[in-house]
Amino acid sequence: MINVGIIGVGTVGSSVALILEQNSEIIAARAGMKIIAKRGVVKDLTKTNKDVTIPISTNIDDILDDPEIDVVVELMGGIELPFEVVKKALQKGKAVVTANKAMLAYYRYELQNIAGDIPLGFEASVAGGIPIIKALKDGLSANHIESMWGIMNGTCNYILTKMMNEGVDYLTVLEEAKELGYAEADPTFDVGGFDAAHKLLIMASIAYGIDAKPEDILIEGIERITLDDIEFAKDFDYNIKLLAIANKKDEGVELRVHPAFIKKDEMIAKIDGVMNGISVLGDKVGETLYYGAGAGGDATASAVISDIIDIARNGKSSPMLGFKKPLEGALELLSQDDIYTKYYIRIKVVDRAGVLAKIAGVFGDFKISIESLMQKPPLSDDFAMLLLSTDYAKESDMRRALKEIASLDVVTNEPYMIRIEE
Amino acid sequence: MINVGIIGVGTVGSSVALILEQNSEIIAARAGMKIIAKRGVVKDLTKTNKDVTIPISTNIDDILDDPEIDVVVELMGGIELPFEVVKKALQKGKAVVTANKAMLAYYRYELQNIAGDIPLGFEASVAGGIPIIKALKDGLSANHIESMWGIMNGTCNYILTKMMNEGVDYLTVLEEAKELGYAEADPTFDVGGFDAAHKLLIMASIAYGIDAKPEDILIEGIERITLDDIEFAKDFDYNIKLLAIANKKDEGVELRVHPAFIKKDEMIAKIDGVMNGISVLGDKVGETLYYGAGAGGDATASAVISDIIDIARNGKSSPMLGFKKPLEGALELLSQDDIYTKYYIRIKVVDRAGVLAKIAGVFGDFKISIESLMQKPPLSDDFAMLLLSTDYAKESDMRRALKEIASLDVVTNEPYMIRIEE
């Protein structure tokens, strides 16, 4: 028998307690033993889910100091406090299962070191119910991972799908998403790409052993995407998705989160609404893709409990971050300047003869070729919108070109750029 | 260090030997120890891949009797002989990894009993490189599996995709598939649905503990599908796929393999060409989907080696068929007669007034409602093709209705039926 203590009995924590009860028989059969939610701890007793019948208190030590509790499930939210709590639990020899991606984005290596052979499960921290962590750690373990492309934020994918399929503008869909509970009152963490970045960092640790923090990687959100961008994408058979991308090259690995144009017949482009999906390219297996609900109480709890069952079966840790032994010549994080891709650019210009020549001239100076161009009819008497796509270019060249274009007297706003991933 | 012996060094076996060498560094880092292909055994030494440098002989005992070999990889093909070989290897205390779905379709429970605590890995037996076995055993272990829908035969999916997208008829695509190496000279095992059925039975053991053999379940192939069926599907926004379906109901589980109409906006309907994909519905996690290459030397070898790495890490077996302890009230295989779904029917009729009334009359007698109807222009002066879809009906009623329709004097061929899964 395994006793579980749940720290943070909110949406996911309540689901963990309830599923351990509702599916107890099949879980016991699969684990080889009973798994019991023994107690929970919350900050505010008045907000607990009435269906949850386990004893609940407000003192974390009720769980940490209980010698009968074998596994601590950490679902508190935040970064520093849960880090301290998980550290204490591990130091007391208790296995830990966490869904806390923000904590892991900063402290996963520290925690791995503290854990040693004590199990530390985090399947639920990436893409909710999709078993992508197990796929990377176990299923694809014979492969060098060449690249990973993930749609790992349901809020962004919901908004972009609506913009794409129904032609509704960003702010309108965002309001609707808030009403439906798909977006937070302050949506920055989701629409700004930070949530996806945390998940990408965890995946990159398993695939490459890279020790980077959110500050180290390129993160751009979807806030500036307009229906002009959507229209251009449609005209050229692209879909726009917020992608978390890991891209292995000879010298290291690119990690980046940003909106991207992807060809609409790619499997990953077909993932719509709040669903998540991750495409992984292994050097031997080729492309595999994993799709499912990336959030929600029950889906996330499914992942939490799968880790507890793993612990029950094996009684010891599988390598937390993918490698049991350090990899000789571990890979480096590449500079953002070295990104090499195609670009889509939107530029608001004064509607006057010779404007295009000036802009094309700047791109020419940086040896960036324009592939296609669309000029929207003048927005008013004075302004027009120029939409264009380029051939492959180096990110640093593109940034310098756009800076120069922004400074032209015929350009009225900072140009907006979306990378094209083919 | 783990020493591996490979019995059957054909396409997949060669890939296993080569990848263990090419990716040895990352495999050692992930496994925590070196994994070495020590020797191989083949039937015919003249056919061995020249790139494979391990010692190869023709005597299976060279592997079975070698005390230094820890893991036997069985890639022989066939059923009875590999069963005897795997049995012997397990009895000698050697772990076994196999990709042999036909053997497992018949002998998985016998082998599990013989194995006991000795690891027996079979990730590669289902859907090649896609880690679906690990997803079912580990990733979704907290869930009751409500249903599974798999596109698990690349030959069939290639043929159906070509018929659907390019309007080429079955026999023409089949010939093309043979030339491309996507179909065998005798394609019956693939196009008849048997290969997919073997895989479904393995998955059903993990999800439900069901002990059924291929003979026990409904298996229909794609051989009789015509461009008329394709046209009807397109007109009503369906795609036609060969599906392996497990469907849990209150009283048990349906297992069946047959072509099916599925709505073209379902994720599983978007899987084209030789690719495989499996959609799994868990009671807690909802739908998750797994996509990738279902065949090929390297992709299958990727799965074989992932099992060997698992063995290196854990040194003991995770429950082979999903359950460590027998599940109380294990599920029963349901009778084919109880399938309850919608149907598409194609009937070749004499082109004469009153024919439709007769056919509609038979369906009426069995209380089967017709939902939509398409009459193709007469094929010749004498015959016409009637295509129709029905509302939900019981399989046994549908079969009796079709038998009666077949016996009508205005019907010239046996009616053809495809189930509609919504």
pLDDT in tens, A194-250: 999 999 999 999 999 888 999 999 999 999 999 999 999 999 999 999 999 999 998
Burial class, A406, CB count within 10 angstroms (exposed 0-12 / middle 13-18 / buried 19+): middle
A91 residue type, one letter: Q
Bridge-partner residues for B155, per DSSP? none
B297 touches chain A (CB under 8 A): no
Tracing tokens 């009968």 back to the chain, one arrives at A68
CA–CA min distance B296, chain A (Å): 9
- φ, ψ at A170 (rounded to 5°): -50, -50
The per-residue pLDDT for A406 is 96
Enumerate residues 128 to 157 of chain B having a beta carbon within 8 A of any beta carbon in chain A.
Answer: 129-131, 134-135, 137-144
pLDDT in tens, A227-237: 999 999 999 99
CA distance A114 to B203: 38
A50 touches chain B (CB under 8 A): no
CA distance A290 to A278: 5
Class of CATH domain A2-130+297-314: alpha beta
Q: Which of B94, B199, B342, B348 is catalytic?
A: B199
pLDDT in tens, A141-175: 999 999 999 999 999 999 999 999 999 999 999 99
Greatest Cα pair distance in chain A = 79
Chains A–B, number of C-beta pairs less than 8 Å apart: 213
B315 touches chain A (CB under 8 A): no
**What DSSP element (H or E) covers A219?**
strand A218-219
Inter-chain touch A302–B287, beta carbons under 8 Å? no
What pTM, to 2 d.p., does this model score?
0.95
Half-sphere exposure in the Cβ direction for A238 (13 Å, CA): 22
The CA-atom distances, in angstroms, between A263 and each of A233, A387, A389 are 9, 18, 14
Strands A275-282 and A145-151, by their bridges, are antiparallel
Mutate to test the interface with B, among A126, A271, A288 (most CBs of B within 10 A): A288
Inter-chain touch B291–A267, beta carbons under 8 Å? yes
Inter-chain touch B289–A292, beta carbons under 8 Å? yes
Inter-chain touch A293–B309, beta carbons under 8 Å? no
Inter-chain touch B292–A289, beta carbons under 8 Å? yes
Chain B residue with CA closest to A137: the answer is B30
Taking each helix axis from N to C terminus, what angle separates A355-365 and A395-406, rounded to the nearest 10 degrees?
A: 150
Q: Which residues of B touch A292 (CB under 8 A)?
A: 285-289
Half-sphere exposure in the Cβ direction for B107 (13 Å, CA): 19
Inter-chain touch B282–A325, beta carbons under 8 Å? no
CB B290 within 8 A of CB B277: yes
Which sequence spans correspond to the domains of chain B? 2-130+297-314, 135-293, 336-421
A227 touches chain B (CB under 8 A): no
A312 residue type, one letter: A
Q: How far apart are the first and last CA of chain B?
A: 50
B203 touches chain A (CB under 8 A): no
List, as one string, the DSSP characters of B3-72. EEEEE--SHHHHHHHHHHHHTHHHHHHHHSS-EEEEEEE-S-GGG--TT--S-EES-THHHHT-TT--EE
Confidence of residue A319 (pLDDT cuts 50, 70, 90): low
**A43-49 long-range contacts, CB within 8 A, separation 24+:** A47/A10, A48/A9, A48/A14, A49/A9, A49/A14
Inter-chain touch B134–A135, beta carbons under 8 Å? yes
A117 touches chain B (CB under 8 A): no
Strands B120-121 and B95-98, by their bridges, are parallel
Q: Tokens for B200, please give them.
A: 């479904």
CA distance B135 to B123: 10
Please count the other Cβ atoms lying within 10 Å of the Cβ belonging to residue B265. Answer: 11
The per-residue pLDDT for B380 is 75
CA–CA min distance A83, chain B (Å): 25
Inter-chain touch B313–A318, beta carbons under 8 Å? yes
DSSP assigned state of B47:
G
pLDDT in tens, B208-235: 988 899 999 999 999 999 999 999 999 9
Does the pLDDT value for residue A109 go beyond 60? yes
The CA-atom distances, in angstroms, between B181 and each of A257, B76, B294 are 39, 20, 14
CA–CA min distance B141, chain A (Å): 5
The per-residue pLDDT for A151 is 98
Inter-chain touch A140–B306, beta carbons under 8 Å? yes
Phi-psi domain of A192 (left: phi exceeds 0; alpha: psi -120 through 50; beta: other): alpha
Q: Which residues of A touch B301 (CB under 8 A)?
A: 142, 284
Chain B residue with CA closest to A141: the answer is B306
B1 touches chain A (CB under 8 A): no
Task: Assess: ipTM above 0.85.
Answer: yes
- Among A106, A150, A361, smallest CA distance to A268 is for A150
List, as one string, the DSSP characters of B96-110. EEE--HHHHHHHHHH
CATH, domain A338-421, list 3.40.50.12590, 3.30.390.50, 3.30.70.260, 3.40.50.970: 3.30.70.260
Enumerate residues 360 to 389 of chain B having a beta carbon within 8 A of any beta carbon in chain A.
Answer: none
The per-residue pLDDT for B317 is 61
Taking each helix axis from N to C terminus, what angle separates A170-179 and A154-166, rounded to the nearest 10 degrees?
A: 130
Confidence of residue A422 (pLDDT cuts 50, 70, 90): confident
B354 residue type, one letter: G
CATH number of A135-293: 3.30.360.10
Confidence of residue A415 (pLDDT cuts 50, 70, 90): very high
Does the pLDDT value for residue A381 go beyond 90? no
Q: Which residues of A touch B290 (CB under 8 A)?
A: 288-291
List, as one string, the DSSP characters of A221-282. -STT--HHHHHHHHHTTEEEEEEEEEEEETTEEEEEEEEEEEETTSGGGG--TTEEEEEEEE
The per-residue pLDDT for A326 is 62
List, as one string, the DSSP characters of A95-123. EEEE--HHHHHHHHHHHHHHHTTS-EE-G
The per-residue pLDDT for B325 is 65
The CA-atom distances, in angstroms, between B344 and each of A48, B238, B374, B375, B421 are 50, 11, 11, 13, 10
Q: Which of A38, A134, A199, A348 is catalytic?
A: A199
Residues in chain A: 422
CA distance B153 to B99: 15
* Domain at B336-421, CATH homologous superfamily: ACT domain (3.30.70.260)
CA distance B248 to B146: 5
CB B144 within 8 A of CB A26: yes
To the nearest 5 percent, what fractions of chain B are helix, strand and coil? 40, 25, 35
To the nearest 5 percent, what fractions of chain A are helix, strand and coil? 40, 25, 35
Among B299, B323, B325, beta carbon nearest to A284: B299
CA–CA min distance B67, chain A (Å): 25
Q: Which residues of B touch A307 (CB under 8 A)?
A: none
CB A103 within 8 A of CB A199: no
Inter-chain touch A29–B314, beta carbons under 8 Å? no
What is the pLDDT tens value at each position of chain B, 422 positions in all?
Answer: 999 999 999 999 999 999 999 999 999 999 989 999 999 999 999 988 999 999 999 999 999 999 999 999 999 999 999 999 999 999 999 999 999 999 999 999 999 999 988 999 999 999 999 999 999 999 999 999 999 999 999 999 999 999 999 999 999 999 999 999 999 999 999 999 999 999 999 999 999 988 899 999 999 999 999 999 999 999 999 999 999 999 999 889 999 999 999 999 999 999 999 999 999 999 999 999 999 999 999 999 999 999 999 999 887 666 666 666 666 566 889 999 989 999 999 999 998 888 999 999 999 999 999 999 998 877 777 899 999 999 999 999 999 999 999 999 999 989 999 999 98
Bridge-partner residues for A257, per DSSP? A219, A244
CA distance A92 to A74: 15
CA distance B290 to A281: 14
Mutate to test the interface with A, among B138, B161, B165, B265 (most CBs of A within 10 A): B138
CA angle A191, A413, A402 (to 5 degrees): 85
Q: How far apart are the first and last CA of chain A?
A: 50
CA distance B311 to B31: 9
CA distance B387 to A107: 62
Inter-chain touch A29–B298, beta carbons under 8 Å? no
List, as one string, the DSSP characters of B220-281. --STT--HHHHHHHHHTTEEEEEEEEEEEETTEEEEEEEEEEEETTSGGGG--TTEEEEEEE
Chain B residue with CA closest to A314: the answer is B314
pLDDT, chain A, mean: 94
The per-residue pLDDT for B329 is 61
Does the pLDDT value for residue A182 go beyond 80? yes
Inter-chain touch A31–B324, beta carbons under 8 Å? yes
CA–CA min distance B71, chain A (Å): 16
Active site residue B199: yes
Please count the other Cβ atoms lying within 10 Å of the Cβ belonging to residue A22. Answer: 16
The per-residue pLDDT for A325 is 65
CA distance B195 to B179: 20
- Among B412, B165, A259, smallest CA distance to B173 is for B165
Q: Tokens for B176, please give them.
A: 């093309």
Inter-chain touch B303–A139, beta carbons under 8 Å? yes
Half-sphere exposure in the Cβ direction for A351 (13 Å, CA): 11
Q: Residue B28 CA to chain centroid, in angstroms?
A: 32
pLDDT in tens, A64-76: 999 999 999 999 9
Q: Tokens for A48, please give them.
A: 């607990």
